Structure 1
Amino acid sequence: MSRDNRLARLVKKIEGYPSFLRKPLLNMALRKTVKLVGTAKVEVLQLTKEHSQFRLQNRKKVQNHIGTIHAAGMALIAETATGMVVGMNVPDDKVPVIKTLKVNFLKRAKGDLVAKAHLSDEQIQDILTLEKGEVEVAVSVTDEEGKEPIECQMVWAWTPKRH
């Protein structure tokens, strides 16, 4: 029996479609499921059990008063990247929840942002085997200049679903 959860099965199913349809289908599914991700038009670039990569374009609807991506948008892309990579691993009888979202703003962001999140093999094993637990997910957010305008600490927990 596959150890893939619902999200991993969806991603695997979408990977069977022609390449030009994969990203639009995955974006549509994620944006429909997580409404704020849809509102901000966060875009998936990569999503596996080990890594995720998401982009947020610097568009009017996500800008602050100085024309850069709003602080909440910066936090959203980091939370999305970490949450989705955790979500690829959490068994269907568990629910992932963000426990700590800490963002330090270091500099003004230039242009679009890309968030990359990563889980280690050990972290994935814990998610798959422990009844409940938590994991700090490594994430970096870079702007168009390749600089990191924010640094983040994202801790995700998982617990049994309440029936």
Structure 2
Amino acid sequence: MAQKTYALYQRSLRYPKGKQLFSLLYARVAPYFWTVRPQVREVRPHHAELTIKNRKAVHNHIGTLHAIAVCNGLEAAMGLVAEATCPDHQRWLPRGLNVEYLAKSTTDLLCVAETSPQDWDKPAPFDLEVRVKAVRTDGVVAVQGTIPVYVSEKPAQTAP
């Protein structure tokens, strides 16, 4: 599955509004992402970017983006990195979310997730930390942290 998502993203780039269509499909396949309506900007091995809008539907009681909505955007970006980077013979699973809230999320946010080739250059199973951050439109990092991911070999397929 991992490379299929990345291949779909790459194919979508050939079409007008392909990124918007891919964003819609991605959020529909993982319905909990739909709440933040992620707009995918870039996906490549070890790097993904998407934006989430500062909408009333995801506000908290003080009128800023709710912390969990921001985390939802960060997890969506992490998933794209894992899908674009994880080899076909392996699978990944997030194990948690470690974030710091550094500033109020008062604008749309750019959610970025990154790894390095060294993070993936281990025999499976292994753990890695995907680095994530949410950046306001004024350049201020509102949230940063890591998402621990467990990578293992896919189980062998048995013939029917």
Give the alignment's TM-score, normalised by structure 2. 0.86
Gaps of 5+ in 2: none
Match of residue 72, structure 1, among 68, 72, 84: 68
Q: Distance in 2 between matches of 1:158 and 1:121?
A: 14
TM-score (norm 1): 0.84
Runs of 4+ in 1 over 6 A off after TM superposition: none
Structure 1 residue runs without a partner (length 5+): none
SS at match of 2:92: strand
* Aligned equivalent of 1:62, options 47, 58, 63: 58
1:142 and 2:135 aligned: yes
Give the whole-Å Cα distance in 1 for the aligned partners of 2:129 and 2:17: 33
Tell me the residue number matched to 2:4: 6
The alpha-carbon deviation at position 159 of structure 1 amounts to 2.4
The one of 77, 83, 86 aligned to 1:81: 77
Higher mean C-alpha displacement, 103-112 vs 47-56? 103-112
Q: 2:49 aligns with which of 35, 46, 53?
A: 53
3-state SS in 2 of match to 1:145: coil
Letter matched to residue 102 of structure 1? N
After superposition, residues 4-153 of structure 1 pair within 5 angstroms as 5-15=3-13, 17-18=14-15, 20-126=16-122, 130-153=123-146
Comparing 136-145 with 52-61, greater Cα deviation is found at 136-145
Q: Deviations over 1:73-100 (max 9, x none)?
A: 1111122212210121223443321113
Partner Cα distance (1:63, 1:161) in 2: 39
Deviation at 1:113, TM superposition (A): 0.9
Provide Cα deviations, 1:12-49, integer angstroms capped at 9, x if missing partner.
2223x23x221122112211211111232111111111
